[in-house]
Structure 1
Amino acid sequence: MTRPHNPIPYVYLYRQGNFDAIPGSPWVYWITPGLRRVFEELPRLEEVAKPVVGLQTSDNFRFLRFWWEVGIDRIGFGCKSREEAASSEKKWFPHMKGGSFKRWWGNQEHVVNWWRDGKELRAFEPAVIRNPAFYFRRGVTWSHTTSKSLSVRYMPEGFTFNVEAPSCFLQSYLDLLGLLGVLNSGFADYALNLVNPTIHMTVGAASKAPVPQKSSNVLRELVEKAIELAKKDAEEDETTWDFVAPPDWPDGNDERGTMNDERGMRDDERGTMSDEGGRMKDENGRMGPEERAALLAEIERQIDEEVYRLYGISEEDHQAIEEELGMRNDEGGTRNDERGMMKAE
């Protein structure tokens, strides 16, 4: 807090013991008592979910491929367990490997050699197989290294994950949606930067984030809409296995009707979220990239507001957080620029 009756506003008085409120006791002297109580009273992520680190091949050239390098028929999509994957006799399986800044959905480009439950990987001595009990389970994942804000994505069933793609798991699908909304919010961006002001978002750092004690249907519904909008971008990107067709051409040439029928059949095979949330369409059955970007920015604004409410953040602290996020993001693009632009990176 600022020093009472002091004409110099940047002089602070702070009890040394109050630094312990934030895990690791960082030299964060400017937060208000209300924000300090969030860290002191709310549970940490590691107390309500299971954040874990993934496997390390130690030879990506040998064990990893882009999906288009091996052919889609050789990939085991939609497996819900290691046993199902092993019995499929497929060699390649979807693999999360971090990647560029994308929230909600995406960066599903890689496959890993996990033939017969990773037989070749396990025989390769430098490889490190971590947390295999969580492979092929649905969860949320993020990129370990980023120069921007944290970007967390839904991970459907059927994926393994890499050391560069730390992941977090909950039993309930609805709770997972709520957690995804919290982690992609402005408040989580602010709080995690206090805990870990670096470009590496490790499992250890993310585990210390405070999380609300309850979620809401409002938040979950907003998150489902955000995921569906992000998936629509993937359907227009030919580097993804979600690809359906490029954006509409100016001459109106459009063959999406037939291709969307084919996509619907593929969704059932790949274990995507098509059965868990309705798809968003405009009155013509589709939406352009600019329209989706604007709609996503508005949805993310609403997510931020709902998350602030769930944390019990006061209006004064809310404004202070937004000001700090604005100053930080002015150096490298605003938060809305990061969120609103849904171009493939």
Structure 2
Amino acid sequence: MKTVFLRALEVGEKAATLHAAIREPKVAMGRQRFDVDPREFSSIPTSPFAYWVSPYIRKLFSQLSGFESQNPERRATKGLATTDDGQFLRVWWELQPPRIRDVWSTFARGGPTSPFYADLSTYVLWENDGARLKAYLDHKIGKSGQWSRWINSTNYYGRAGVTWALRAPRFSPQALPKDSVFSVRGYAAFAEEKDLSFMLAVFNSSIFDYLFKLALGRFGHPEFVVGVLQWLPWVENGSLQVKSQLGRLASRAWSLKRGIDAGKETSHAFVRPALVQAPGVTLESRAESWADYIRSSEVELASLQLEIDDLCFDLYGIDEADRRVISQGFGESSAVLIDIQA
């Protein structure tokens, strides 16, 4: 038996929208009115109360393999918690360069939303595979071998991958460089090295963000936990050409964002101060040149994101109606419906 759901979340004139959806159900169908059998919710493992999602989107969860299911090289996992950041963490400019590589490792611990690229300014004390941290954690319990309660997936430490913040408005992972460690709040995912750029592109696409939030049952600022990502629908049928194209787009986005970082003195990417890099005769002209460079980079990044979204929509077989919902929501349709019924 189907249940009728009415939606007026995105509009200001909620009463008028609801009234129109009831009075003209055929006009409102698929925009503000949805007739759905609640049993269909179980087609997604977490059974979210997502009445507005099309049957095709729901079927993706059963028709496609999960992220980890078909390839043992693909893995999403969590890292470590020091339980005492003041003792075991430092920002990189606090450390003496000769000691950094032997004693400390770059540490991915989440942070602001930053798709494709983010500089890792934090380091964790990881000399001799974290011997000091492990001893400290064992001492807390009073028994040896207990450090694994806080330190996970050590066999993935040092591998290149993808990392992201636990909570964010959008799923926006960044490249995880080699020789890094990751935390329990800066999750990480791994694949064969040749597939990492492709994975970074798909992870940053609008369709993957939508599927992730749908599975979580929350579209605000959800926690993008690895336990859900592990079984999210993953595309295996893309051509080598499309995968290569997505990889190039993600690499270009990474390069653009790192280029902007080259003017920040607190970044590992720092080369020279921004006003020294920028062309110009006066400080004012150099500042304008750098601002133009930032603007042009942001315009290109937006264009790259659109290309990635289109290619990933194609990979997942998303039609125009679902693309519109994913990209725009239902707000515009609601306004049109009110105008039609007025």
Question: TM-score, with normalisation over the residues of structure 1?
Answer: 0.75
When the two structures are aligned, how many residues end up with a matched partner?
281
Aligned: 1:313 with 2:318: yes
Which residue in 2 is equivalent to 1:193?
A: 213
Determine if contact 1:2/1:11 at 8 Å carries over to the other structure: no
Q: Which runs of 5+ in 1 are unaligned?
A: 77-89, 255-283, 328-345
SS of equivalent to 2:83: coil
Question: SS in structure 2 opposite 1:179?
Answer: helix
In structure 1, distance between residues paired with 2:194 and 2:186? 22
Name which of 160, 167, 171 aligns with 1:150: 171
The amino acid across from 1:234 in the alignment is D
Summarize deviations over 1:44-88 as a string: whole Å, max 9, x none. 223242000001100001000000011232211xxxxxxxxxxxx
1:251 deviates by: 6.9
Cα distance between partner residues in 2 of 1:208 and 1:246: 44
Q: 1:174 to 1:6 in 2, by over 3 A?
A: farther
Matched, 1:204 2:264: no
After TM superposition, give the deviation of residue 170 of structure 1 in Å. Answer: 0.6
Distance 1:204 1:6, change over 3 A: farther
Q: Secondary structure at the match of 1:117?
A: coil
- CA distance in 2 between counterparts of 1:237 and 1:144 reads 25
**Aligned to 1:291, what secondary structure does the other structure show?**
helix
Instruction: Provide the C-alpha distance between the structure 2 equivalents of 1:324 and 1:288, rounded to a whole number of angstroms.
Output: 32
Q: Which amino acid aligns with 2:280?
A: G
Alignment of 1:298 with 2:321, yes or no, is no
In structure 2, what is the equivalent of residue 159 of structure 1?
180
Matched, 1:177 2:197: yes
Structure 2 CA distance for partners of 1:16 and 1:57, relative to 1, 3 Å = same
**2:237 & 2:86 partners in 1: Cα distance?**
43
Q: For 1:278-335, what per-residue CA distance to the aligned partner results, in whole angstroms no more than 9, with x for missing partners? A: xxxxxx9xx81111111111111111101101111112211121122988xxxxxxxx
Amino-acid identity (%): 29
SS in 2 for 1:112: strand
Amino acid at match of 2:316: Y
Aligned amino acid, residue 177 of structure 2:
P
Instruction: Please state if 1:65 is matched with 2:93.
Output: no
The equivalent residue for 1:132 is: 154
- C-alpha distance in 1 between matches for 2:330 and 2:155: 37
How much is the aligned-residue C-alpha RMSD, in angstroms? 2.6
Cα gap change, 1:107 to 1:251, in 2 (>3 Å):
closer
Matched, 1:106 2:95: no
What residue number does 1:25 align with? Answer: 47
8 Å Cα contact 2:262-2:274 kept in structure 1: no
Distance 1:40 1:251, change over 3 A: closer
Q: 1:324 aligns with which of 298, 320, 329?
A: 329
Q: Which moved more, 1:209-218 or 1:292-301?
A: 209-218
- Note if contact 1:67-1:111 (Cα within 8 Å) is conserved in structure 2: yes
Q: 1:46 maps to what in 2?
A: 68
How far the C-alpha of 1:20 sits from its partner, in A, is 1.5
**Which residue of structure 2 lines up, in the alignment, with residue 97 of structure 1?**
109
User: SS at 2:62's partner residue?
Assistant: helix
Q: Which position in structure 1 is the counterpart of 2:143?
A: none
